């Protein structure tokens, strides 16, 4: 696979030029190092642009994202999940087991951090925000679109619980296959569903030569409509 490494200046310049063209960024202010407010959709537009590029370079899993949670004990834990959808309205959606370790920790503390890393593009996107369960209707609709094998596995796995032997999981899969015979719809297990992360911070990182990386940030407080844009030392 060819390594796609856009020069930082051209990658970031293209990005900023697009935001400017969309009327979402006062580039002159930004370049003076002052913070500037941009429209709510701006970081989503930039994410969308980078993600589209990653989908062509980071096969098969451009949507793999690390999600870090912190439970009541204050200890962080992190793992990869697949981002299933994103939108300005709903944020970033992923699907998991509510009773898993991450599910329990998100119940205890609704703030999470997500990191996409796209090595072929030499880019990283960090997102922080508040997580919440999607509506039952949205989770049902998502689950109904999953392949049957995935649906059966969702019923069979007690995610994050101790598995005493591999046979125990195999037996549970057989039991669930008998419970939901081929040809009958498999309902969503009540312990699984979608979560959406509503961001209040983004950081877009591009690699630069001699460790002169570029870091572009968007942040906002709860309820604010505009993002403050900024730059960080690498």
Ligand X SMILES: Cc1cc2nc3c(=O)[nH]c(=O)nc-3n(C[C@H](O)[C@H](O)[C@H](O)COP(=O)(O)O)c2cc1C
Contact residues for ligand X (CB under 6 A)? 61, 64, 77, 79-82, 94-97, 100-102, 159-160
| Nearer CB in complex with ligand X: 100/151 | 100
Write down the least CB distance from residue 94 to ligand X, Å. Answer: 5
Which tokens in the block code for residue 5?
Answer: 């490494």
Beta strands in 4-105 (DSSP E): 36-38, 64-70, 76-87, 91-97
Write down the least CB distance from residue 200 to ligand X, Å. Answer: 23
Write down the least CB distance from residue 137 to ligand X, Å. Answer: 20
Write down the least CB distance from residue 182 to ligand X, Å. Answer: 25
| Nearer CB in complex with ligand X: 13/64 | 64
* Contact criterion met (CB below 8 Å) for 209 and 11: no
Q: Give the SS3 label for residue 198.
A: strand
| Nearer CB in complex with ligand X: 100/156 | 100
| Nearer CB in complex with ligand X: 79/174 | 79
- Which alpha helices (DSSP H) does 58-200 contain, by range? 101-108, 136-144, 148-156, 166-179
CA torsion 145→151→155→159, rounded to 10°? Answer: -90
């Amino acid at each position: 696979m060819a390594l796609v490494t856009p020069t930082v200046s051209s990658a970031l310049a293209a990005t900023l030029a697009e935001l400017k063209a969309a009327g979402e960024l006062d580039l002159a202010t930004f370049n003076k190092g002052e913070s500037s407010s941009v429209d709510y959709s701006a970081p989503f537009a930039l994410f969308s642009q980078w993600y589209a590029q990653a989908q062509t370079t980071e096969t098969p899993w451009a949507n793999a994202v690390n999600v870090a949670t912190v439970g009541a004990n204050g200890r962080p834990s992190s793992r990869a999940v697949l981002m299933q959808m994103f939108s300005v309205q709903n944020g970033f959606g992923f699907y998991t087991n509510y009773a898993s370790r991450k599910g329990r920790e998100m119940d205890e503390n609704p703030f999470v951090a997500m990191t996409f890393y796209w090595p072929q593009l030499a880019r990283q996107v960090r997102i922080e925000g508040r997580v919440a369960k999607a509506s039952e209707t949205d989770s049902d609709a998502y689950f109904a679109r999953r392949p049957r094998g995935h649906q059966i596995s969702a019923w069979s796995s007690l995610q994050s619980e101790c598995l005493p032997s591999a046979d125990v999981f195999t037996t549970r899969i057989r039991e669930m296959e008998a419970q939901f015979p081929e040809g009958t719809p498999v309902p969503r297990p009540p312990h699984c569903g979608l979560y959406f992360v509503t961001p209040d911070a983004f950081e877009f990182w591009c690699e630069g030569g001699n460790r002169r990386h570029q870091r572009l940030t968007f942040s906002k407080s709860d309820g604010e409509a505009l993002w403050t844009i900024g730059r960080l030392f690498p």
